[in-house]
Amino acid sequence: MRRRWLPLILVPVLVIGIIAGALGWDYQRFLMRPIPGNEAEPYFQVPRGASLRQIAERLKTDGYLKDPHLFVVLAYLSGQARELRAGEYSWPGGLRPPELLEVLTSGRVVQHAVTLVEGWRFRRTLAALAERDVFSGDLSGLTDSELMARLGRPGQAPEGRFFPDTYSFPRGTAKLEILRRALQRMEEVLAEEWAERDAGLPLKTPYEALILASIVEKETGRKTERAKVAGVFVRRLRRGMRLQTDPTVIYGLGEDYDGDLTSADLRADTPYNTYRRGGLPPTPIALPGRASITAALHPEEGEALYFVARGDGGHHFSATLEEHNRAVRRYIFGDE
C-alpha cells in the first residue's frame, strides 16, 4: 500500500523542484540583466510615500525592468525593502538590478545647478531663480525688506549680499533656501577676506569692503586690473576725492538709464552719484566675486588716481588730471 502512494508523493515534489529551479534560474538571469541608463531628463522619480511594489511597477512602465516582481523579491532578500528614498535618480547604462537598488536606497538624488553670476544685480538674481521651475516657491510678491526678513537679515539691503557661484540642489528645493545658501556663503567669504585685509585701508567694516568690491566688479572684467582699479579708489578715498565712477551713477538711475550715460545723468543727484557725493555709495551695486573682494582689500600700490577705458576691455591709468584728460581725448574722442 505504501508503494502505491509513493508516486503520488514524488510527482508533486518533483514538480515543485522543477518550478523552483526554473524560478531560481529566472531570478539569476534577472540579477544579471543590464538596465538602460537615464542620465538625461526626465530622471526617474521615486515619489514620497510610494510603496516598493509601486516603484517596481514604475520601473517596468518606464522601460528599466521586465520583471518588477523579481525586483521586489531582490529588495526583500537584501533587507532593503523599506530603504528606498524619495527623490530623482539618475544612473549610467549597464547597471544590474542589485546596483540599481543601491542607487534607489542611497539618497544620492539628482542635483540641479543654478548659477549666480558676478556683476548681476539682485533683481537679475531673482529673475534667474524665477525661471527655474525645478525649484519651489514664488518670490515675486515679496519686497526686498520682506525677503531679507525671511532670510533672517531684517533691515539689510539685499544688493551684493549673495555670493556669485554655481550651487546644486535637489528638485523641489525652496528658492528662498537657495538665496540663504548664497547669503551665508558671501558672509563666509567676506569674513575670511576681511581677516586678511591690508592694514590702513580707508574701510571701516566688511560691508564697506563689499561696496567697494562691487564697484571694482563693475568697472573691469580683467583679472589683472582689479587690484589696480581698487588702488585708484582707495587712494581717492584716502584723499577725500570723489570716486566719480560711472557704474554707481548708472545704478542710481535705475530704470531711467537707457543705455547711454549723458552729462545730465552725471548731474542727477542720487545717493549713488559718486560725481556729486563723496565717499562710498550706500549699498553695493552688484554681486562681487571673490577676486573683486580680494582686490578691494589688497589694492595695488601706485600713484594713479584716474583711469579710462581703452576700448579693448582694458583701461589707461593716469596719476594726474592732465594725463587723464589726454587719455580721454585719445580713447574716447579719438584724438592723437
The pLDDT tens digits of the residues spanning 108-135 come to: 999 999 999 999 999 999 999 999 999 9
| Candidate from 8-12, 149-153, 174-178, 205-209 with smallest mean pLDDT | 8-12
pLDDT band, residue 16 (cuts 50/70/90): very low
What pLDDT sits at residue 20?
Answer: 44
- In this predicted structure, the answer to whether residue 140 has a pLDDT above a threshold of 50 is yes
Question: Which residues have CB under 8 Å from 13's CB, separation 6+?
Answer: none
Q: What average pLDDT does range 293-316 have in this prediction?
A: 95
What pLDDT sits at residue 336?
Answer: 63
Residue 67, CB half-sphere, CA atoms under 13 Å: how many?
A: 17
What pLDDT sits at residue 8?
Answer: 45
- In this predicted structure, the answer to whether residue 260 has a pLDDT above a threshold of 60 is yes
Report the alpha-carbon distance of residue 180 to residue 134 in Å, rounded: 17
Report the alpha-carbon distance of residue 137 to residue 175 in Å, rounded: 6
Report the alpha-carbon distance of residue 124 to residue 243 in Å, rounded: 25
Q: How many CB atoms lie within 10 A of CB 271?
A: 13
pLDDT band, residue 259 (cuts 50/70/90): confident
Report the alpha-carbon distance of residue 117 to residue 218 in Å, rounded: 12
Q: What average pLDDT does range 160-172 have in this prediction?
A: 97
